[in-house]
């Protein structure tokens, strides 16, 4: 451990840089060359690279990098509303706000920082936010990069309001894939899902695995804590773990919808897939003083095994 002591010093393992709009970004590194980049605009993870320098998250070539517009790609924080099922704009306002670095956050479990480089961010509602959503809260987000390259996002939302409030939530995660037609998702078989392309009709998954031949926008209900995205061409598997997030959203816009999005290339649907840990069907309700925690853990490994053989115990599930 001694030889890594300087590497794991917080000052050595993280660096604050600026994008071309002057917005701060935090760059995290681990000793083996993996990295993650987090923008204070939206508290958004905009890059996650493995030890070979390969980018694991998708960002559109047409993404708009200018506040208050959120960037198309990375991992967006959708709060206090996911989608358009509410009075707020699509996916809420947290992803459009400038967050601040939280220098003195309340402590997490000791293993949440052991052997990891991390940053703590904080969002509180502005006066404009309270006009459109009149609930006071503190939203703390920790993004950490482990020695093995795993990326973890931990959200803690506290009600500092005088009355209860409810919200929906998602980590809107854009994964980089080789070819959407060659990708499959395992772990969501036989589950009920809401088909967002058919007025949220309740259906049941029939396939042995989820594959893609057309536009898909589904919310899988009461999904397991771990699902896997297998990319055959790259021989890579993304393992997506979640805690406090009962649902999993799967989205790919396919060809027709891609052409309607100004910040998304016509052919880019082929190289991306969104798989989101979420709380959508049943909103989270917090009483005054209560706190909710939701966690996303992303792992990228070689696809030399079947999902059934995955040693989930080693990932803490």
User: Residues forming the annotated binding site for substrate?
Assistant: 72, 90, 95
Asked whether the beta carbons of 264 and 60 are under 8 A apart, the reply is: yes
- The residue length of the chain stands at 317
Half-sphere exposure of 310 (CA within 13 A, CB side): 24
Residue 266 CB contacts under 8 Å (≥ 6 apart), including other chains: 255, 258, 259
Half-sphere exposure of 172 (CA within 13 A, CB side): 26
Task: Please give the annotated binding residues, written as ranges.
Answer: 72, 90, 95
Give the end-to-end CA distance of the chain in Å, rounded to a whole number.
26
* Residue 147 CA to its chain's centroid (Å): 20
Cα–Cα distance measured from residue 86 to residue 122, given in angstroms and rounded to the nearest whole number: 24
């Amino acid at each position: 451990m001694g030889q890594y002591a300087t590497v794991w010093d917080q000052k050595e393992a993280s660096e604050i840089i600026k994008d071309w709009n002057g917005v701060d970004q935090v760059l995290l590194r681990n000793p083996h060359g993996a990295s993650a980049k987090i923008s204070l605009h939206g508290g958004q993870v905009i890059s996650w690279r493995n030890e070979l320098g390969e980018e694991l998250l998708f960002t559109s070539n047409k993404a708009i990098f200018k506040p208050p517009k959120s960037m198309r790609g990375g991992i967006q924080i959708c709060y206090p509303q996911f989608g358009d099922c509410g009075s707020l704009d699509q996916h809420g306002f947290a992803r459009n706000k400038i967050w601040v670095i939280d220098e003195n956050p309340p402590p997490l479990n000791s293993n949440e920082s052991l052997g990891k480089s991390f940053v703590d961010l904080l969002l509180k509602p502005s006066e404009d936010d309270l006009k459109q959503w009149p609930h006071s809260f503190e939203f703390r987000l920790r993004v950490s990069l482990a020695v093995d390259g795993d990326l973890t996002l931990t959200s803690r939302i506290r009600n500092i309001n005088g009355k209860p409030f409810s919200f929906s939530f998602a980590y809107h995660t854009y994964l980089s894939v080789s070819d959407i037609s060659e990708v499959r998702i395992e772990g969501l078989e036989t589950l009920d899902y809401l088909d967002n392309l058919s007025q949220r009709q309740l259906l049941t998954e029939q396939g042995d695995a989820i594959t893609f031949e057309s536009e898909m926008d589904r919310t899988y209900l009461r999904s397991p804590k771990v699902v896997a995205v297998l990319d055959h061409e790259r021989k890579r598997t993304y393992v997506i773990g979640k805690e406090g997030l009962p649902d999993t959203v799967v989205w790919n816009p396919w060809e027709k919808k891609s052409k309607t999005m100004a910040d998304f290339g016509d052919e880019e649907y082929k190289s991306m897939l969104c798989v989101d840990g979420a709380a959508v069907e049943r909103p989270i309700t917090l009483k005054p003083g209560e706190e909710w925690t939701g966690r996303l853990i992303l792992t990228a490994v070689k696809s030399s095994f079947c999902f059934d053989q995955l040693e989930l115990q080693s990932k803490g599930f």
